[in-house]
Amino acid sequence: MSQKGIKPCIPGRKSRSKPVRYDKRRYKRRNRIEIMFGRLKDWRRVATRYDRCPTAFFSAIALAATVVFWL
């Protein structure tokens, strides 16, 4: 992992023989992002990707994100 410049942000299992060091702050931020994507997928249009054009799909995501986090 370190050869590719990747830093783990998920804690390893307790049964792992060699513990993996991770940043707790990054792990919390990662969780927030996963929750955000979960909320976005509640919008059927975004979850099933009705829009085949990347520009229209991105605009649907932006609209959904705005509505979800504004309310």
pLDDT in tens, 5-48: 776 667 777 787 887 777 778 778 888 888 878 877 777 777 67
- Mean pLDDT for 49-53 is 74
| Higher per-residue confidence, 34 vs 50 | 34
CA pair distance 28, 4, nearest whole angstrom: 23
Domain spans of the chain? 1-40, 41-71
Please indicate, yes or no, whether the overall pTM of this predicted structure exceeds 0.75.
no
Q: What is the structure's pLDDT at 1?
A: 58
Q: What is the structure's pLDDT at 8?
A: 66
Conformational region of residue 23, where left means phi above 0, alpha means psi within -120 to 50, and beta covers everything else: beta
